[in-house]
Structure 1
Amino acid sequence: MPAKDLHLLLSHDDDGSAFLEGGLPADAAAEHEERPEARPGPTHLWDEGDDPDDIVAQRWGVIVPEGPTGDRLLELARPLLEARRAAQGGHEIKVFRAPSRLDMAGAARWRKDVFDRGADLAVDLPRYQLILGDLDQVPFAIQQVQQSDGFVGRIAFPDERGYEAYIHKILAAERAAALPSPPHATFYTVHDGTAATAATYRALVRPGLDLVRRRIEAGQFPASTLEERGRIDAPSPDELFEAASRPDPGVLFSVSHGAGAPREGWKSFAEQRARQGAMRFGREGTFAASDLGERPFAPGGVWFMVACYGGGTPDRSAYRHWLERLQKLGHYGGEAEEVLKALPRNAPPFIASLPRTALANPNGPLAFLGHVDLAWTYSFEERDAGTPIARPARFMSVVRSLVRGDRVGLAFRELVRFFEQANTELTSLYDHEASGGRRDEVRLGHLWMLRQDLSGYILLGDPAVRLRVPKAQKTTPAEPPAPTAANILGFGQAQAPAPAPAPAPAQTPAPIAQVEPVALPMELERLEEAFGHMLVGERGHKEIAKEYGIELGELRKLFDRYKKGGRGSLGHT
């Protein structure tokens, strides 16, 4: 009898017992449906030569529902729109309207007709995109299509106060000083004795922690501390609160079952919205939105939650056809039927209540990453090669990007990248079969499950937020002296020079009109040093910007002004 290695992170909300307690055989994936609904790629790519972390170069925009609902959400988000416009050098914030119901094909058509008509370069097209509204207002399919090459997040709250509180929180965090030390990384596992959490710990958490420790020792994972939490003998929400309440921002990575329907089903849609996707602690209870309130929980940090429905619930599960096929074939007893009962049926999709409450909490995280659908163990343990292979790096790379201070949209892109790889491989197998090649049923099934599992992850929060990590400042050797723009362009030395003969009148630069002093990101002499490296041309602008701790777009803008008239063009003498 084949081992049952396909596990689901979902448990009943009443007694905490797991759905599919025994799991399914891995070969059940071979009964997958035919080619899944296409998730189209981009019509064209942004300029990958620009720094993806640079808002000025990449731009920021919003996607809102059509009609008065979208108008009101834009009004609520006005402080954020104004801040983002200033951050991207005063360029207009582009607003895109979306219908409430679209499948994947419709979302791809919307992209071509509304977002990107392909008539011009993508210079002004926002790569950072914030969706305002719940899944029944702007469909998840749009978010999935847009994040194929964009950095896309979403905020959705049940009332206006949630939007106002979240926006106030992230803007206050951006005005605050940089963190005095690198962020921490905390990993919390609910060891509830089920096969699913044990498999997740074995294939994701434990090897992931080993990987992170090695990279920290090598200086390649900039976390200040790495902490593993989660008692094996008695999992408790109180321990989670203790681990997540530390005041210094960092990344919280949690593994648990998500709350699914009680054995008798949800009493109402309101009850389902309030509790589905909450963290289950086995028979020790649940951590739901009602338990959080405004208690400190990952304050100013980022929460990555691995659990079924942790991010939300779709209107139709990507696994329904597969599970219905298993049921029809009579395979695996009542396991498939049990999970089918937990799937959404003819109800509006919604963002889970727990992350919504956490994001609206003034003492909560800036962003949340979670799953919208059933979360299986496939996304971190591949089986298409015949034997299970743990792939923790695809999740640890997201955590590394976050503690490094990358914007969360860029960090989430690490996970999307692995989806694209699985999707490409799966498509190539279908094309091979269509060309007369032999159909590899088992491999197709494993890749199909991997693709579906990875496609369900969602970023909640503004994709432009980041942990305020101090920029590393590299020291410049005294010898040879660094080139400066001042001596190359002839505007005078950055440091006080020795007396020099007055230049001939014909060589005197034309007077420069007086301008208001420009707020500089660093001392003028150090900025001129950076300009000097740009003029010499031996290094890329992106590398220079990173060394001097300035965004690429801002550096280029200041450099262009400086070339026209030296310090005077910046309002400094």
Structure 2
Amino acid sequence: MEEETLVLSGVDASTGRYLVPPLPLEQVARAVEARLRDSLPPEQDAGRFHALPYGISEPDVRRAGWGIVLPVGTPEPVRQALQPLIDHREAHVEAGCFHVLDYLPGEKAEEWLVRHGMSSGDVIPSLLPYYLLLVGAPTEIPFDFQYVLSGQYAVGRLCFESADGYARYARSVIDYERASSVPTKKRVTWWGPRHPGDTATALSADYLLTPLSEPSVARAHGYDGVSFIGEAGTRAHLAEVLHGRGEQRPTLLFTASHGMGMAPGHALQRGLQGALLCQEWTGPGSIESTHYLSAADIADDARLHGLVAFFFACFSAGTPRKAEFAFLPEQIPAHLSPQPFVAALPQRLLSHPNGGALAVLGHVERTWAYSIRPPRVGPRLHPFRNCVGRILNGEPVGHAVRDFRDRFLMATLLQRELLGSQKSAGPSLELVSRCFEGTDARNYVVLGDPAVRVRVELLS
């Protein structure tokens, strides 16, 4: 069955049905191949690779540099709210490796790099730092700009509804980095449901969460691991972790589940899209608000300070305006939203009034099962495992996601090779796999300052 249909994650918060039903692979393969031949000719540039000067290590923020990118016209209250974080970072990087940068409306990444004295291929911190924090909604700085820049730099984004959100996040980061102790323990929590008869959560529970937790990458770095997988992937358990109840608050929360979606322009879309579906869901065709956890469910007394969260779910970081793919030949790419936006749940976690999370790693658009287990090669979890390992080792979160960028670039090269070598007119399932694998890897983004890191020296 898995070789005949393509399964996507995501459940409609209004109907309880899948956002996209299982699709016939043969039709998908033909559509993908035709689209790639039109949009990715063999001679096209395959992507960008970052390269710091010899002797500078990427995790060394002090020498790799830090910069903040503000859209022209950023309101003064937002600039003032972020000024303490800007001053804090400037004091902790080498002279000349700190930059406050602007972004012009509609500017492409290549244009932006050239305007700031750079081109693709090299990273020169004195001209453009390796760690770059984008400020604003994707209507101001597009997701596509973030994707391209992330191929070469460690990029994060902050986007809140008011200046107060930026101020709360800035204060949380500074407090965490200046404190003599940290509020979390040396613990990782793995959470995810496994719904009966649901292929997407069977794959994420069995081929992502379980392999990551057993044997646990956490143990290799001296962390305890706690798993709520399958029947234990309940809303209550997730809420307990996100509210920091109990004394053993984890440093890292890794979840895998369906993300909730809504019809474009629905009054509740911005608040619910990307919410996490829990084990309480009874299956397609029914949905209750108690079946998922959204931003509105995070109370003001939650204890999130010092947490890093990784959400493997559709729309868990944000939603673009248009869908990434036309899955069937007769389909036109659908509009997913009147305007692109950042998901409400990570916004709430990062700007929490009781102290925010350090960073949330999530996905823009839908996630694909093929990115976990492509055909014929078995589970491919190196980007997830390496990302978790780097975070637990105290490396900056913006650098921790580098394997996803490398995976995207490699998948792009393999797509080119397959397109150039394919002789028959028949559909290529491997091409479908590489296409979806690459796009899925590209769309993982960091929400938060990419230079934040877990203070492992203080964890106990």
> Into which bin does the TM-score normalised by the smaller protein fall?
0.7 to 0.9
Q: Which amino acid aligns with 1:94?
A: H
What are the residue-to-residue correspondences of 1:160-559 with 2, within 5 Å?
160-177=163-180, 179=182, 183-193=186-196, 194-212=198-216, 216=219, 221-230=220-229, 232=231, 235-244=233-242, 245=244, 246=246, 248-261=249-262, 265=263, 268-281=265-278, 282=281, 283=287, 284-296=290-302, 298-319=304-325, 322-325=326-329, 327=331, 343-344=335-336, 347-361=338-352, 362-383=354-375, 387=376, 389-432=378-421, 441-470=428-457
| 3-state SS of paired residue (2:200) | helix
Q: What is the distance in 2 between the residues matched to 1:129 and 1:207? A: 32
Residue 241 of structure 1: how far off its partner (Å) = 1.5
Correspondence for 1:66 among 58, 69, 72:
72
SS of the equivalent of 1:257 reads coil
Q: 1:181, 1:469 within 8 Å by CA — same for their partners in 2?
A: no
User: Can you list the C-alpha shifts for 1:354-383, whole angstroms capped at 9, x where unaligned?
Assistant: 110111013442100111111111222122
| Contact map agreement 1:22 1:195 (CA 8 A) in 2 | no
Judged with a 3 Å threshold, the aligned counterparts in structure 2 of structure 1 residues 447 and 27 are, in CA distance, closer, same or farther, namely farther
Decide whether the 8 Å contact of 2:138 with 2:342 is kept in 1: yes
Once the two structures are superposed, what CA deviation does each residue of 1:54-100 show, in whole Å capped at 9, x if it has no partner?
12210000111122x26553332111111111101344631222234
Distance change >3 Å, CA 26–CA 46, structure 1 → 2:
farther
Contact 1:205 1:392 in 2 (8 A): no
TM-score by length of 1: 0.70
Deviations 1:97-127 (A, max 9, x none): 223435xxx3233323336258998141200
Q: Larger Cα Rg: Structure 1 or Structure 2?
A: 1
| Closer/same/farther in 2, CA of residues 182 and 424 from structure 1, 3 Å limit | farther
**Structure 2: gaps spanning 5 or more residues:** 282-286
Counterpart of 2:6 in 1: which secondary structure?
A: coil
Q: Secondary structure at the match of 1:208?
A: helix
SS in 1 for 2:329: helix
Quote the residue 1:500 is aligned against: none
TM-fit CA distance, 1:298: 4.4
Give secondary structure in 2 for the equivalent of 1:325. Answer: coil
TM normalised by structure 2 equals 0.86
Q: Greater relative contact order: 1 or 2 (C-alpha under 8 angstroms, separation 6 or more)?
A: 2
Bigger drift between 405-414 and 38-47 goes to 38-47
Query: What is the CA–CA distance in structure 1 between the aligned matches of 2:270 and 2:183, rounded to whole Å?
Result: 39
Does the CA contact (< 8 Å) of 1:73 and 1:132 recur in 2? no
How far is 1:28 from its partner? 2.7
Letter of the structure 1 residue corresponding to residue 10 of structure 2: L
Amino acid at match of 2:369: T
Structure 1 distance, partners of 2:309, 2:14, is 25
CA distance in 2, matches of 1:228, 1:26: 37
Between the aligned partners of 2:182 and 2:155, the Cα distance in structure 1 is 25
C-alpha contact (below 8 Å) 2:50/2:153 kept by paired residues: no
Q: How many residues align?
A: 438
What residue number does 2:9 align with? Answer: 9
3-state SS of the aligned residue for 2:402?
helix
State the match for 1:499 in structure 2: none
CA contact (8 A) 2:123 2:152 kept: no
Sort the Cα spacing of 1:306 and 1:57 in 2 relative to 1 into closer, same or farther, 3 A: same
- Provide the identity percentage: 26
C-alpha separation in 2, matches of 1:373 and 1:422: 18
Q: Could you say what secondary structure the match of 1:153 adopts?
A: strand
Residue aligned with 1:196, SS? helix
Deviations 1:537-570 (A, max 9, x none): xxxxxxxxxxxxxxxxxxxxxxxxxxxxxxxxxx
1:451 and 1:370 map into 2 onto residues whose CA distance is: 16
| Letter paired with 2:444 | Y
Cα distance in 2 for residues equivalent to 1:119 and 1:381: 31
Give the counterpart of 2:136 among 133, 139, 150. 133
Q: What residue ranges of structure 1 are gaps of 5+ in the alignment?
A: 329-339, 473-573
Change (3 A) 1:147 1:134: same
Distance 1:418 1:177, change over 3 A: farther
Indicate if the aligned counterparts of 1:183 and 1:467 stay in contact, CA closer than 8 A: no
Matching residue's letter, 2:146: Q
- Measured against aligned partners, the alpha-carbon deviations of 1:479-498 in whole angstroms (never above 9, x if no partner) come to xxxxxxxxxxxxxxxxxxxx
The aligned runs of 1:142-161 (5 Å cut-off) are 142-161=145-164
Corresponding letter in the other structure for 1:357? R
What's the offset of the Cα at 1:198? 1.1
Please give the alpha-carbon distance, in whole angstroms, between the structure 1 residues aligned to 2:336 and 2:416: 28
Deviation at 1:168, TM superposition (A): 0.3
More helix by proportion, 1 or 2? 1
How far residue 243 of structure 1 moved from its aligned partner, in angstroms, is: 3.1
Task: Tell me if structure 2 keeps the 8 A contact 1:312–1:350.
Answer: yes
Q: Write the distance in 2 (CA, Å) between the matches of 1:198 and 1:120.
A: 41
The structure 2 residue matched to 1:86, chosen from 84, 87, 91, is 91
Once the 2 structures are TM-superposed, how far is the Cα of residue 449 of structure 1 from its aligned partner? 1.2
